[in-house]
Structure 1
């Protein structure tokens, strides 16, 4: 693995701060991430990689997977990336130019549920990326993502904690989440201000929890956290046009939830129960 500073200089390129570009400098880190994620050689999977950059993760992933679809936003860096892939002798990588928020993922998804998504997600749009991927979770087996530690802790946070919020509920409703490893800031170029964490999201074939109407479920979660410091009675009445404060209290009682509780105290299963009771108010 050639140092990113050397590669960028040779191609007369610089890291783009607005794209959140921080390149791994330690070749053992991508291998560690793949090992921790259980991605072995000849794993028989299709991998979609978000933000391949200079190929630090792309190349070792390609040596283990059937095919890698690498989605890169930075058009200027793609010729460098493709050259690195070619020099490494990896002929099972397809580089796609575009944003992971807009690119058509359908052609990249494998038959059945043998697609794995990996990537070092830029902090400013990481939650948007994760929410978009949730809509494809029935076609994806797992996701393994590098995030700023603050974001990773939000995703795995338990009810009652300061970090527990809308994203925590959405991710934990859709799959099981855990932190696999931490990656120190000095292992990147340029060095970010904070450390990163690797999280794994496993999407079960049969959901552990299933709302009767998922759109309503996510609407209820959004409304509940819309006024985070208010009671559920007030936040739901404010965020759901179908509810008055009186109806919100009635709904909560029907769902066996104390109206004076706040959103961050509810477990995911309680949000499911609340959303299922809300159906009659639509």
Structure 2
């Protein structure tokens, strides 16, 4: 692995802040991530933002194939050169924005669930996670590197101050564990904070099932959208079709106190609330008809 500082200088290039580019400069880190990922020789790994290929190469050594999705077209010649120098020939590179890519289509073409990995830019991390959750039927697991602060929010337990929208959504359909903690000194350019790699393994059967999953996620979004407000006010001041009186009725039906706040709810309570709301909306629609 060539130093990213030297590689970029040789190509007269710089890391782009708009793409959140911070390149790993210690080969032991991507090797450790790939080792702990549990990748088999039959797996297809979709890597988001391969950059200079630091993680791509150790992933490719363990997987059947890697599909590397890179938005920055200017870095592609460098990536191809690094892969060629390492003798890696089982990597397909797509010059696309991951938010415009169908993981389902990639997995269907592969013939089964895929593994997704990547060092995610802070500004689109939540969007990518939501995409994973929606397409999780075709995602065996995801291995993502986040800035430490964001990783702590994503892995926050129920009932804690950091528990938020993404932790609740993932808590519904996945198990999460921290794989590796990565010091800021392991990157070039050096970021201001350390990072963590988390493993998200999606559940085939969630322990608490929502009758309308899209509505569940809408309820979670609404509750945390106004997290300083109590649930009655948060739900009635959201995109949900609820007045304060109706929100109170639904909360009472779900046996959840109206003055509680989003971070105090468990995943099971969010599911119960969403199921109660689904019944309420169905009854309201029937009475109007």
- Shorter-chain TM-score: which interval? over 0.9
Determine the structure 1 residue equivalent to 2:128. Answer: 129
> Is residue 255–residue 273 contact of structure 1 (8 Å, CA) maintained in 2?
yes
In structure 2, the CA distance between the partners of 1:10 and 1:241, relative to structure 1 (3 Å rule), is closer
> Is residue 224–residue 236 contact of structure 1 (8 Å, CA) maintained in 2?
yes
Determine the structure 2 residue equivalent to 1:98. Answer: 96
Determine the structure 1 residue equivalent to 2:71. Answer: 73
Gapped regions of structure 2 (runs ≥ 5):
282-289
Determine the structure 2 residue equivalent to 1:21. Answer: 21
Determine the structure 1 residue equivalent to 2:45. Answer: 47
Determine the structure 1 residue equivalent to 2:149. Answer: 150
SS at match of 1:101: helix
Cα shift at 1:200: 0.6
Partner Cα distance (1:248, 1:186) in 2? 49
* Greater shift in the superposed pair: 241-250 or 29-38: 241-250
1:229 aligns with 2:259: no
Cα shift at 1:94: 0.1
1:204 aligns with 2:190: no
Determine the structure 2 residue equivalent to 1:35. Answer: 35
Partner Cα distance (1:209, 1:175) in 2? 12
Cα shift at 1:28: 0.5
SS at match of 2:196: strand
Cα shift at 1:176: 0.8
Cα shift at 1:36: 2.2
More helix by share: 2
Cα shift at 1:240: 4.7
* Greater shift in the superposed pair: 90-99 or 159-168: 159-168
> Which digits, 9 at most, give the CA deviation of each residue in 1:1-48, with x for residues without a partner?
111111111111111111110000000100111222223xx4311000
> Is residue 51–residue 119 contact of structure 1 (8 Å, CA) maintained in 2?
yes
Gapped regions of structure 1 (runs ≥ 5):
none
> Is residue 103–residue 138 contact of structure 2 (8 Å, CA) maintained in 1?
no
- TM-score using structure 2 length: 0.93
In structure 2, the CA distance between the partners of 1:241 and 1:26, relative to structure 1 (3 Å rule), is closer
Cα shift at 1:209: 2.9
In structure 2, the CA distance between the partners of 1:55 and 1:246, relative to structure 1 (3 Å rule), is same
Determine the structure 2 residue equivalent to 1:108. Answer: 106
SS at match of 1:21: coil
> Is residue 242–residue 281 contact of structure 1 (8 Å, CA) maintained in 2?
no
* Greater shift in the superposed pair: 80-89 or 196-205: 80-89
* Greater shift in the superposed pair: 124-133 or 266-275: 124-133
Partner Cα distance (1:242, 1:84) in 2? 53
Partner Cα distance (1:196, 1:45) in 2? 26
Aligned residues: 279
Cα shift at 1:107: 4.0
Determine the structure 1 residue equivalent to 2:86. Answer: 88
Partner Cα distance (1:184, 1:242) in 2? 45
Cα shift at 1:246: 1.9
In structure 2, the CA distance between the partners of 1:12 and 1:240, relative to structure 1 (3 Å rule), is closer
1:63 aligns with 2:65: no
Determine the structure 1 residue equivalent to 2:266. Answer: 267
Cα shift at 1:56: 0.3
Partner Cα distance (1:131, 1:210) in 2? 18
